[in-house]
């Protein structure tokens, strides 16, 4: 083909249609490439976002399970020492120990155990519950003092007549009242109403 013929071919409708078609194909290819790239980036972002949320949720659940487990353990221990101390004080309030050594081993250790678990559980108690546990501790101390003063004269190195009757006499009313309040409080904490709805669906 000579130069003149090539120039004439470029100006033909067939050649112009070819250029338009080729341009449209390139534009479509570029558009598809942009859409694919955007879709890929969006997919990566969504995946990363989902993984981040999943890890955050798992961390929150792990911390919740960890601290909830510690809370339940602490409150269970508090409840166990509460019951144990009440049982012991109740027994020795009716049947006083015969020696100071027996008092220290059987009575005093129970009060100390309750105090220890109360301190450990205090971080999980609100103000009202903390006051209830302190009230029963006061009742245990009064009971322990009354039991100590009930020891035989040769076992109790104290002048019993120097103490007020409110100290010498076992305060059974306050002892049982504060204990019942503490038991009710701990049961409400360890068995909240929401669990009743879960366990007994309508």
Helix (H) or strand (E) holding 160: none
Q: Do 183 and 82 form a contact (C-beta atoms < 8 A)?
A: yes
Is 23 domain-assigned? Answer: no
Which residues 6+ apart lie within 8 Å of 137 measured at CB?
111, 114, 115, 118
User: How many angstroms separate the CA atoms of 137 and 82, rounded?
Assistant: 9
Q: Is the pLDDT of residue 9 over 50?
A: no
Is 116 domain-assigned? Answer: yes
Q: Do 175 and 142 form a contact (C-beta atoms < 8 A)?
A: yes
In this structure, what token pair is assigned to residue 113? 């155990």
Smallest CA-to-CA distance from 182 within 120, 123, 140 is with 140
Is 185 domain-assigned? Answer: yes
Is 8 domain-assigned? Answer: no
Is 178 domain-assigned? Answer: yes
User: How many angstroms separate the CA atoms of 137 and 78, rounded?
Assistant: 12
How many of the other CB atoms lie within 10 Å of CB of 75? 20
Smallest CA-to-CA distance from 166 within 181, 188, 191, 145 is with 145
pLDDT cut 90: percent of the chain above it? 51
User: How many angstroms separate the CA atoms of 151 and 165, rounded?
Assistant: 16
Is 31 domain-assigned? Answer: no
Is 22 domain-assigned? Answer: no
User: How many angstroms separate the CA atoms of 136 and 89, rounded?
Assistant: 12
Smallest CA-to-CA distance from 29 within 17, 40, 21 is with 21
Residue pLDDT, tens place only, 129-177: 999 999 999 999 999 999 999 999 899 888 888 899 989 999 999 999 9
User: How many angstroms separate the CA atoms of 160 and 168, rounded?
Assistant: 8
Is 69 domain-assigned? Answer: yes
Domain count of the fold of the chain: 1
Q: Is the pLDDT of residue 22 over 90?
A: no
pTM for the predicted model, two decimal places: 0.66
User: How many angstroms separate the CA atoms of 55 and 52, rounded?
Assistant: 5
pLDDT cut 70: percent of the chain above it? 73
Kindly state the DSSP code that residue 164 receives in the 8-state scheme: -
The domain that holds 188 is classified in CATH as 1.20.1440
- Which domain, by its residues, includes 100? 63-199
Question: In this predicted model, which residue has the larger pLDDT, 86 or 67?
Answer: 86
């Amino acid at each position: 083909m000579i130069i003149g013929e090539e120039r004439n071919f470029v100006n033909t409708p067939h050649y112009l249609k070819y250029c338009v078609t080729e341009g449209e194909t390139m534009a479509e290819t570029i558009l598809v490439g942009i859409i694919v790239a955007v879709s890929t980036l969006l997919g990566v972002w969504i995946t990363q976002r989902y993984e981040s949320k999943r890890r955050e949720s798992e961390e929150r659940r792990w911390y919740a399970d960890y601290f909830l487990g510690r809370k339940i353990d602490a409150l269970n221990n508090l409840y166990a020492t509460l019951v144990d101390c009440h049982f012991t004080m109740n027994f020795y309030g009716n049947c006083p120990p015969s020696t100071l050594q027996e008092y220290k081993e059987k009575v005093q250790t129970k009060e100390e155990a309750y105090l220890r678990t109360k301190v450990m559980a205090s971080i999980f108690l609100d103000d009202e519950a903390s006051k209830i546990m302190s009230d029963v501790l006061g009742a245990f101390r009064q009971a322990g003092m009354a039991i100590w003063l009930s020891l035989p004269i040769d076992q109790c190195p104290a002048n019993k007549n120097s103490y007020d009757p409110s100290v010498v006499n076992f305060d059974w009313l306050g002892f049982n009242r504060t204990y019942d309040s503490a038991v009710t409080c701990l049961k409400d904490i360890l068995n909240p109403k929401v669990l009743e709805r879960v366990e007994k669906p309508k």
